[in-house]
A = this chain, B = another copy of it.
Amino acid sequence: MIKRREFLAKAGTLTAAVGTGSLVSAPAVHASPKKFRFKMVTTWPPKFPVLQTGAEEFTKKVKIMSGGRLSIQVFAGGELVPPLGVFDAVSSGSIEMGHGAAYYWAGKVPEAQFFTSAPFGFTAQQLNAWMYYGGGLDLWREVYAPFNLVPLPACNTGVQMGGWFNKKIDSLADLKGLKMRIPGLGGKVISKAGVNVVLLPGGELYTALERGVIDALEWVGPYHDLKIGFYRAAKYYYYPGWHEPGSCLELVINKKAWDKLPKDLQQIVKSASAEANLMTLAELDAKNGSALNELVSKYKVNILKYPDDVIKKLHELSKETYEELSAGNPKIAKVYANFQKFARQIEPWTAMSTAAFMDAKKL
């Protein structure tokens, strides 16, 4: 790093004329005297920690920063529109803002899944580099433009856990016929390894696991998983979460509503969503840390690592999945190509910085 003394050569001295405080009483000339009242619908259950509460925190900061000129009323999933209805409600302009995840709209915009997370894809830190300085967000805007949606990264969960299992995974053979709840691209990949991917509502997961309706499931990470109490219904907790290495959740704004906002309020929304992107990961990391320690020390959870050959195979199957999806859809191919291009730019650097440092700590 740079040493402060190095710049002394240039140093001037603090002149006596330097102002003190500079409070200038000026008339109230403000960029925008108009007040806006927006609604935000989310895909999350009421009070769902970090995700729903993070969306609410975002609106509080927007309100404070705008001096009350932009107030956003938040509705959790199902309170105003169904969780599945967020995309359409904001796209149509019925609602001004939405909070969810791009991979929830895989049926409508399959190429947008890469903006949330991809198996063996980017960590949160890498994804942010792609989004803000690698063309990712520009591409996302392009992808959402036909739907009148302006996307902004607004939350990141970090690496999710591999999941809760009642069958031990010693080799690839153990995946065959395993009944597992795992949605999205991760589910698509693991089904290629013979897993029987099951879709179940969140509220039914605990009972399904306890009663043997499913053998395994993945949810989020230690903090959310501890709250549900999966450790009481499962024998093993697996890591690492190969399927969602850093899920970016989205703020979407209806284009017309966005265009109506003056520049200052647009920047307030942008900065508050960037802040939320940073803060939610920090909050989850701190809470996952505590929860993991509790799962281990208090509940004696049996935490296991996926065998290397299983991970290797899932990595291969992930690439195979991306190739297949790209071959069948030029829009997916375009996003995947951009994603891969940035991966080639960032991966060697991550390997030499963060990954190498973490290895060094283990010695």
Contact = CB atoms under 8 A, between A and B. Distances in A.
A30 interface: yes
B45 A93 contact: no
Of all A-B residue pairs in the complex, the 9 with the closest CB atoms, nearest first, are A28-B33, A10-B78, A11-B82, A6-B202, A31-B67, A133-B286, A240-B356, A159-B353, A129-B285
Nearest to A353: B159
Interface in A273-331: 274-275, 277-279, 281-283, 285-290, 292-293, 296, 303, 305-306, 308, 311-312, 315
Given A1-B244, A202-B3, A278 B287 contact: no
Interface string A67-111: 111000000011111111100010001111000110110000000
Interface stretch (A142-150, A165-173, A261-269): A261-269
Copies in the complex: 2
A240 B201 contact: no
A348 B293 contact: yes
Contacts of A53: none
Contact of A279 (B23, B28, B132): B132
A84 B4 contact: yes
Interface residues of A, number: 157
A123 B290 CA distance: 18
B363 A312 contact: yes
A82 B315 contact: no
Contact of A257 (B21, B271, B275, B312): B21
A270 to B, nearest CB: 8
A271 B77 CA distance: 27
A361 interface: yes
A131 interface: yes
A65 interface: yes
A1 B240 contact: no
B353 A81 contact: no
A183 interface: yes
